[in-house]
Each structure stands twice: as C-alpha cells, then as structure tokens.
Amino acid sequence: MNKKELTGLFACLCTVVIFLSACNDTKRPRQTDIATSPEQLVQKAKDNLKELLKYAEENNGDLGDSVFLLNDSLVDLTYEKNYVGVFWSSKEQWKPYADSMLHFVENAQVFGLFPEDYHLSQLNTILEKFRNDSLGKSDRLDAALWSRADLLLTDAFIQVVKDVKLGRLPNDSVTLRSDSVLSADFYSKQLNVLKQSGSIVRTLEPLEPKHKGYQLLKAGVKKFLDSADYRPFTIVPLPGKGMPAFKKALQTRLFEGGFIAQDSVTADSLTIVAAVKRFQKKENITVDGKAGPGTIRLLNMSDREKFIRIAITMDRYKMLPDTMPSRYVWVNLPAYYMKLVENDSVKIVSKIICGKPITRTPLLTSAINNMITYPQWTMPTSIIVKEVLPGVKKDTAYFTKKGYSLIDNEGNEVDPHTVEWQKYRKGIPYKVVQGSGDDNALGILKFNFNNKYAVYLHDTNQRYLFAQTVRSLSHGCVRVQEWQKLAYEIIRFDDTDTLKASVKRDSLDAWLKRKVKRSMAIRNRLPVFIRYFTCEGGNNGITFYDDMYNEDKLLREKYFTGK
C-alpha cells in the first residue's frame, strides 16, 4: 500500500470515528430542555423520559451521568405497561404521592432501610434546583430535570417495594417465604395502589411481615433513632495479657457513654462495677457488673452498628412464612430463650442452652413428633472427631470415665481397649452411646423432630448452667429449662379430650418416676423454628443480644458494606 492509499485510509478512519462520536453524542440524554410553558413542559418531559429509558436500556441502566438505575429492566417494563409519560409530577408540581415518596426516602430508616439506597442525593440535588429557582422559572420548566426525577422516583419505589416485601438477604436453608421474585405486574399494581391512596406508607404496610415480633421491632425503631448517638466510641479489647489497657479502655468507653463521671483519674473497681451495671441495665441484659465477652461486644457496638442489626433482623422476619402456625415453638439462639406461642400469645418462656460457637446449633424448621423419657445419647460424628478421638488417644479409659459405650454396626458393644484408635482421624466405624440415667447429657426427657443435624430439644444433667448469662455451652442441641411445662402443653394440645390428656400426662410422670425409657408419639406435631435474631422489640424499646456466632457480622460485611 503506497503513501497515497495510506493517507486515504487514515482519512476514512477519522471520518468513521467522528461519525460514531457524533452518534454517541446524539444518543446521550439531554441535560437541560427548557419549556416555554407548564403545558409544553408535560410533552417535553414525556419525550425526555423516552430518551432516558432508551439510553438506560442500551447502557446497563446508566442515565448518562454515571447515575445508574437499580432496576432498569423493571423500570422500563413499568413505564411501557402503564406510564409512558411522567408519573410523579404535572405542570411544575409534585403530585401528592410524590411528596409522600420523597418524605419516605428521607425517613426510610423507620422501615429498617437506608435512605442512600434510593437515590436520595440525586433527588435532593434536583429538589434543591427547584427550590432555588422559585422565581427564575428556568429550572422549574426544565423537562430534563422533571423526567430524570420521575425515573429516579420510579426506580426508588421499585427498590423500596422489593426491600420491604422480600428484604435484602439471600435465600438460605431455612427460608420459608413463598416468593423470592416479584413480577413487573406486581410493581405496577403497587404504583396504582400508591396513586389511589396517595400514601407510600399505606401502600407498603400490607407488604410487611405480619409476625408480631416484626411489628414490635418496627415499633421500637423510631424511639431508637430519636436517641441514637452516631459518635465514634473507644473500642474495648477483651481482657487478657493487656489488663491495664483493657481497664483504661473500659473506663474511657463507660465515660463516653455517660455511665461513669470522669476519665482523667483511674476509677476503683467498685465504681467500674457500678458503671458496668448501669450499661447492662440500659441494654436489658443480665446486670452483674462483670465486663465479660458479651458485655464487651455490646460496649463495642455503636448505635450505627445497632441499626444495621435492626435492618438485618427485620429482613430475617421477611424470610418466615406469610402466616405462622397457630401453635409453634420459637427458639431464638442469641436471646437464649424458647417460647411456646399459641394464637400470638406466649404460653411458656424458658431459658435455653445452645451450641458453643465451635459446635453451633443449626438454624432449622421442623416439628416435634415424639417425646422420650430417660433417652440414650448417640453422639454425632462431629463431636466424636473433635472430642472423643483426642480423648481416647490420650487415655483408653476415656469411655469408662465418661460413661460412654462403643457399639458396632450390628449393635454389639465393643471394648474400647481392643480398638486401634491412632489410625482414625475423620471418624470411626462405631457409634458412641451414653446410656440413659440421671447423668445422661440429655437429662430425663428429649423432644424429637426430624432434621439432618441430629439435634433436638431436651432436658440436661447440668441444670445449674441456666443461671449463667452466656449460655452457648452445648454440643449443638438445645437444652430447655422448662422442659416439663413444654411436655405438658404438648400433651394438652395433642388430645383435646381432657381425660385422655390426663392419662397421658400421668403415664409420662410414672415413666419419669420409675426412670424407664419410653416413647410417646405426638399426633398433632408441634412446629419448631430455631432462628438467629440478635435484637427484638418490646415494651421498653429494642433489646440487643450478643452475635455469638458472628452471623450478623458476616451479613453486615457482605450485604451492608459501607453503611
């Protein structure tokens, strides 16, 4: 190719580049488009809206200024089906439901939401232009601004509906919500509800969980926000080798929170204990004056972090079924309690002991199908690997000391001294069983329900542990302090015939008195929900619990980063 041909080719390429650039320029939405009258503004805004939608569709939701729609395809479908025109305003004026929506975005925290997730800064920028141009009229007649605001409000509305209805957490093994995806028709329907009611709150309330716990938690949010303090606080390390640093940080943190009068002079132990008690009382936790791990974690949790806990917990309620059973057992692990609920009334409240962080209690949904008196405990493989194998390798008398039996696949008892333990690492070809009796880890009654984790509710031979504040102490099962009350309620519900129920109760008492192993089948199976909710609402506001399994911490880091 000669020089003349190269020059011609270069000129053609330049022409193509210039042409493509010009095309891109024409595609980019207009930043301003001033109408001459309110009537012309309506048509211009409609034209601008079409341009914005087309550009966003071709550019992955980008509106031309690095502002992205959160739900570009849903927004496009919504306008296509119902609102090929401006929805939120008319002739320089917001419609009543637009004012309601704008106010909601600013105050979204009351619903456990974050205003910044719904284009708050971009909407405020547009609103500020309208406010500052009340006399000049150029911005208030800018169709580009009105159409952009319309699109942002629709996108925000769709995201709000999604977050209120479904929450922001992914489906997990215990999710029971009936729908995980909402159609474009659903969002369009909600826009019509909003248009008719004029109120975003009245539109959203029917979409919220009906669970009483959710309603109590939401009722406490405003009071929490009114007194929330987002100042940074001193982090208190766990006590250990650096005890002086721990004591100094603890006193400083208590001073920052107003629980102790001064920080310049080292306080004596009695003053610190009294201050810790004041903090514990405020947090509605056990008031013992001890700065243990649970108290320290709460001291280190700022109000901003607490609000994120609230948001996560409100979303966890959205993963429950739309309608809860008329009767069920509710186990909240971080709160260390079990409740028997009947028709929204709490019949029994009981302390529980749940799994240690290393042998955590799984989250699950099941139903109690039988009760066993003086049960045997067949040890799960995880405990065999973590505890039995190391123990028996050190001392072959381990089984005798613990009261365990070694059973082969045919049901025969095996002498532990005849087993070559050193060759096993990940499991053994035997069952490890603890016989029934008062010393059995399961206590004298067990409540069975189907689950793949081999866990259940039961009594315990270590009932003194219920007096402890931190009760994540078990191998994974849930120990119930009020096991007898629960058993009697199950019998009462299982047979509505009072006489038959009385006979069953007498039988249970007789088996327990004689210390015999018996099984009682439950016909009306009692649903069991084992969940992880680190805060809950009540008459005194919101109570926060220790995130002992770091479940909230992981969700916070993955789904609420930057909040």
Question: Do residue 107 and residue 191 come from a single domain?
Answer: yes
User: How many whole angstroms separate alpha carbon 43 and alpha carbon 557?
Assistant: 46
Residue 39 has phi, psi (to 5 degrees) of -70, -40
User: How many whole angstroms separate alpha carbon 139 and alpha carbon 35?
Assistant: 10
DSSP state of 286: -
User: How many whole angstroms separate alpha carbon 151 and alpha carbon 323?
Assistant: 35
Residue with tokens 């009981």: 350
Q: Give the total number of structural domains in the chain.
A: 4
Determine the residue type at 62: D
Q: Does residue 293 sit within a domain?
A: no
- Please say whether the beta carbons of 534 and 545 come within 8 A: yes
Question: Do residue 415 and residue 473 come from a single domain?
Answer: no
User: How many whole angstroms separate alpha carbon 361 and alpha carbon 455?
Assistant: 8
How many other C-beta atoms are found inside a 10 Å radius of the C-beta of residue 441? Answer: 19
Determine the residue type at 433: V
Which residues are 531's β-sheet partners?
332
3-class DSSP state of 541: strand
Question: Do residue 9 and residue 151 come from a single domain?
Answer: no
Helix axes 498-514, 483-494, angle to 10 degrees: 140
Q: Which of 417, 434, 451 is at the close of a domain?
A: 434
Question: Do residue 403 and residue 509 come from a single domain?
Answer: no
Q: Does residue 450 sit within a domain?
A: yes
How many residues does this entry show for the chain? 563
Question: Do residue 335 and residue 356 come from a single domain?
Answer: yes
For 151-167, letters b (16+ CB in 10 Å) and e give bbbbbbbbbbbbbbbbb
Q: Which domain holds residue 22?
A: 1-29
Q: Which of 207, 231, 251 is at the close of a domain?
A: 207
Question: Do residue 449 and residue 519 come from a single domain?
Answer: yes
Q: Does residue 258 sit within a domain?
A: no
Give tens-digit pLDDT for 72-99: 999 999 888 766 678 999 888 899 999 9
User: How many whole angstroms separate alpha carbon 147 and alpha carbon 35?
Assistant: 13
Residues 6+ apart with CB under 8 A from 169: 312, 315, 316, 318, 319, 555, 559
For 4-37, letters b (16+ CB in 10 Å) and e give eeeeeeeeeeeeeeeeeeeeeeeeebbeebbbee
User: How many whole angstroms separate alpha carbon 146 and alpha carbon 127?
Assistant: 10
Question: Do residue 509 and residue 402 come from a single domain?
Answer: no
H or E element, residue 5: helix 3-27
Q: Does residue 243 sit within a domain?
A: no
Q: Does residue 507 sit within a domain?
A: yes
Average pLDDT over the chain, rounded to an integer: 89
Taking alpha carbons only, the member of 470, 476, 472 closest to residue 458 is: 476
Q: Does residue 451 sit within a domain?
A: yes
C-alpha 439 chain-centroid distance:
38
User: How many whole angstroms separate alpha carbon 120 and alpha carbon 133?
Assistant: 20
Residues 6+ apart with CB under 8 A from 407: 413, 414, 430, 431, 432, 433
Residue 545 has phi, psi (to 5 degrees) of -115, 165
Question: Do residue 41 and residue 186 come from a single domain?
Answer: yes
Specify the pLDDT at position 495: 84
Helix locations, 141-300, DSSP H: 143-165, 184-197, 200-204, 212-227, 243-256, 269-282, 293-299
Question: Do residue 364 and residue 465 come from a single domain?
Answer: yes
Angle at 121 between CA 116 and CA 125, to 5 degrees: 165
- Please say whether the beta carbons of 442 and 386 come within 8 A: no
Six-digit token string for 468: 């402890």
Give tens-digit pLDDT for 222-263: 999 999 988 888 999 887 666 788 999 999 999 999 999 988
Alpha-carbon dihedral 101, 106, 111, 113, rounded to 10 degrees: 110
User: How many whole angstroms separate alpha carbon 533 and alpha carbon 554?
Assistant: 14
**Half-sphere exposure (Cβ direction) of 278: Cα atoms closer than 13 Å:** 15
User: How many whole angstroms separate alpha carbon 255 and alpha carbon 243?
Assistant: 18
Question: Do residue 339 and residue 192 come from a single domain?
Answer: no
For 506-544, letters b (16+ CB in 10 Å) and e give eebeebbeeeeeeebebeebbbbbbbbbbbbbeeeebbb
Residues 6+ apart with CB under 8 A from 163: 113, 117
Q: Does residue 247 sit within a domain?
A: no
Q: Does residue 355 sit within a domain?
A: yes
Taking alpha carbons only, the member of 319, 338, 329, 276 closest to residue 493 is: 329
**Half-sphere exposure (Cβ direction) of 250: Cα atoms closer than 13 Å:** 29
Give the C-alpha distances (Å, rounded to integers) separating 74 from 70, 186, 192, 224, 226: 9, 10, 15, 34, 35
Give the C-alpha distances (Å, rounded to integers) separating 110 from 161, 224, 310, 315, 562: 14, 10, 10, 13, 19
Question: Do residue 345 and residue 474 come from a single domain?
Answer: yes
- Please say whether the beta carbons of 276 and 254 come within 8 A: yes
Specify the pLDDT at position 472: 94
**Half-sphere exposure (Cβ direction) of 396: Cα atoms closer than 13 Å:** 9
For the chain, the C-alpha Rg in angstroms (whole number) is 32
User: How many whole angstroms separate alpha carbon 552 and alpha carbon 555?
Assistant: 5
Give the C-alpha distances (Å, rounded to integers) separating 155 from 123, 158, 200, 326, 511: 12, 5, 14, 38, 64
H or E element, residue 23: helix 3-27
Question: Do residue 61 and residue 136 come from a single domain?
Answer: yes
3-class DSSP state of 520: strand
User: How many whole angstroms separate alpha carbon 442 and alpha carbon 77?
Assistant: 57
Q: Which of 159, 191, 207 is at the close of a domain?
A: 207
* pLDDT tens digit at each of 563 positions of the chain: 555 554 555 555 544 444 444 444 447 888 888 888 888 998 999 999 999 999 999 999 999 888 999 999 999 998 887 666 789 998 888 999 999 999 999 999 999 999 999 999 999 999 988 887 655 567 888 999 999 999 999 999 999 999 999 999 988 878 887 777 888 899 999 999 999 999 999 999 999 999 999 999 999 999 999 999 888 889 998 876 667 889 999 999 999 999 999 888 899 999 999 999 999 988 877 899 999 887 888 898 889 999 999 999 999 999 999 899 999 999 999 999 999 999 999 999 999 999 999 889 999 999 999 999 999 888 888 788 888 899 999 998 898 888 888 998 888 889 999 999 998 988 899 998 887 766 677 889 999 999 999 899 999 988 999 998 889 999 899 999 999 999 999 999 998 888 888 999 999 999 999 999 999 999 999 999 999 999 999 988 999 998 999 999 999 999 999 88
Specify the pLDDT at position 1: 54
